[in-house]
Every structure is written in structure tokens, then in C-alpha cells.
Amino acid sequence: MDISDVNNFIETVQNLVTEDTVTNYSSLTPAVISVTEGGKYFKVISGGSCWGFISKYDGHFKGIPIKVGDLMKGANWSSPAKHSRGNILDGTASYGVYGPTYLK
């Protein structure tokens, strides 16, 4: 996975957030979606809050297998939650305006 895959995903999320804000909250300015690169994850930031994480490696996280491109909810500002919410590379990522979806 390279940064262009992440940038394409960020562009999709930005379009989703902008559309939702314009449709439902017309007096507000849409949040800006940005990404920072860490050692193991890309952190996705929405308007100063942690939106989620994207894995940069294959392996295990808290005993659960993860692979490159897995989308993860944020447990807090600096670390992801335990389970992935799909993968951005194979199109199985499950997310909404406010971040990756909760597990069912």
C-alpha cells in the first residue's frame, strides 16, 4: 500500500463529510479530513478529532490478525481499537461520516 491509496480513501471520506454537512447542516463549514503517517498506522483526523486508523503492516494487534489497509476505529487519540472494520484496499471498509462503524 502506498500513500496514493490512502489519499484516494481520504478524498472519498472528505466528499462524504462535505455532502452530509451541506445537506444536513447548511450553516456549518464541513470538517477537513487529513492524515498523518506513523510507524504502524495512518491516523485519519477530522476537524481536530481522531476519525480512525489505517494499518500499514500485516501482523497481529492485541491478538487479532490485521493486514495492510485495514480500517480501525480509534480507541483514543493515539491508538486504534482492537478489531478492524474492513479494508480500504479491497473495498470492504465499513464507515460513515463520523468514523468507522461499530461492530455488529
pLDDT tens digits for 41-95?
999 999 999 999 999 999 999 999 999 999 999 999 999 999 999 999 999 999 9
pLDDT given at position 3 = 84
pLDDT tens-digit readout, 14-29: 999 999 999 999 999 9
pLDDT given at position 35 = 95
Q: CA dist 94 to 11, 34, 82, 91, 104, Å?
A: 16, 19, 15, 9, 11
**pTM, full prediction:** 0.93
Which DSSP letter does residue 22 get?
A: H
